[in-house]
Amino acid sequence: MNDLLKIAIAPLGSCSGCDVALVDIGEAILDLPKIASIVYWPTAADGKIEDLEGMDSIDVAIVHGMVGNSEQERVLRIIESRAKYIVAFGTCAYIGGIFGLRNAIADAGKILRTAYVETQSTENKKGVIPSITPPQYEVEMPKYYDFALPLRELCRVHVFVPGCPPVEEQILHLVSALKNLARTGNFLPEGTVIAGDKSVCTECPREKPENVTIKRLIRRFELKEDNGKCFLVQGVLCMGPATRSGCDARCIKANVPCRGCFGPPSDVKDQGAKMLSALASSVYADEEKDVGEEGIA
């Protein structure tokens, strides 16, 4: 391929931390203008949905964020109809991310009421909740969905880059793949996940016994003295056993337990079920009373 690649970077339901990660790779980002033209990136430059609609084709769409309302789905549908390759960039696009917590409620009305009325930090005595069609304005707001949806629930995704946000090594891998696409016309195989295949435990520097035994789960701040052993051994919940490697255990090296942002390893379908299985097989109690609401909660 001799022409510059046309790349769109599209945020959906996102905190834009993924945008920051993209520009946080140092001098390597200077290679992009040599092979590509960024035709759409509303976080970095003014861009409207109409601009996206006016494009005939896009070579690669790097999409971050989940789909949580009708406007976000509209943007994704436009991209889907124009992009040769779609990259789900970041945990939210990959598996729903932190926004996926609202799926436990799965009711748009309850979610909005919780956010705008019921939280302790909210001062909203009149109980005003955003409306799709506010009566005092001639405007229609996007419809808020019951669920936060990852991209693959709605469209075909070619490459996944997990992480909250993705780390430098992953982004450099993606940039290398884009260079190869520009040079040869060949991209990564469909379904590629730019991350490791094993669990975070394989990268963890903490001391791990042969058998992990958990007698009581506590929160991180309740750990009076960190002895450098596996967090689970000390009773602190860590998602490492059920999370894909590739982050170099960055959080754990900063003394923060893994929270699972890389999603499940390649041989695991349900990350939550895998973690529950790991916990269930590690719980130990001398007596039944040791494992109760106080002991494990």
Number of structural domains the chain divides into? 2
DSSP-assigned states of every residue in 16-27 = SHHHHHHT-SGG
Average pLDDT estimate for 70-91? 98
- State residue 216's pLDDT score: 85
55 Cβ contact list (under 8 Å, min separation 6): 6, 8, 39, 40, 82
Note whether 71 and 153 are same-domain residues.
yes
- State residue 140's pLDDT score: 79
Residue 248 CB-density burial (10 A; 0-12 exposed, 13-18 middle, 19+ buried): middle
Alpha-carbon distances of 29 from 33, 109, 174, 252, rounded to whole Å: 8, 42, 11, 28
Instruction: Tell me the per-residue pLDDT of 86-144, one tens digit each, with 9 for 90 and over.
Output: 999 999 999 999 999 999 999 999 999 998 999 889 999 888 888 777 677 777 789 99
> What amino acid occupies position 287?
E
Domain boundary (163, 193, 223) is at: 193
In this prediction, residue 284 has a pLDDT band, given cuts at 50, 70 and 90, of low
Note whether 210 and 226 are same-domain residues.
yes
Residue 184: give the domain boundaries.
5-98+145-193
pTM for the predicted model, two decimal places: 0.88
The tokens of 224 are what?
A: 């009076």
Whether 120 maps to a domain, the answer reads no
Vertex 156, ends 150 and 159: CA angle to 5°? 80
pLDDT, mean over the chain: 91
- Distance of alpha carbon 283 from alpha carbon 54, whole angstroms: 57
- The CATH number of the domain holding residue 10 is 3.40.50.700
Domain boundary (133, 159, 193) is at: 193
286 has a pLDDT exceeding 90: no
- State residue 1's pLDDT score: 52
Contact call for residues 141 and 20 (beta carbons, < 8 A)? no
- Distance of alpha carbon 249 from alpha carbon 239, whole angstroms: 11
CB atoms within 10 A of CB 51: 13
**Lowest-confidence region among 2-6, 204-208, 268-272:** 2-6
Region of 270 on the Ramachandran plot (φ > 0 left; ψ -120 to 50 alpha; else beta): beta
Note whether 201 and 261 are same-domain residues.
yes
Instruction: Tell me the per-residue pLDDT of 4-36, one tens digit each, with 9 for 90 and over.
Output: 999 999 999 999 999 999 999 988 888 889 999
Note whether 79 and 164 are same-domain residues.
yes
Whether 139 maps to a domain, the answer reads no
The tokens of 194 are what?
A: 């730019």
Vertex 177, ends 175 and 181: CA angle to 5°? 115
Strand partners, 245: none
Note whether 33 and 175 are same-domain residues.
yes
**Lowest-confidence region among 74-88, 153-167, 273-287:** 273-287
- State residue 282's pLDDT score: 82
Whether 246 maps to a domain, the answer reads yes
Note whether 181 and 62 are same-domain residues.
yes
Average pLDDT estimate for 260-267? 94
Note whether 248 and 167 are same-domain residues.
no
Dihedral of alpha carbons 64, 69, 74, 77, sign:
positive
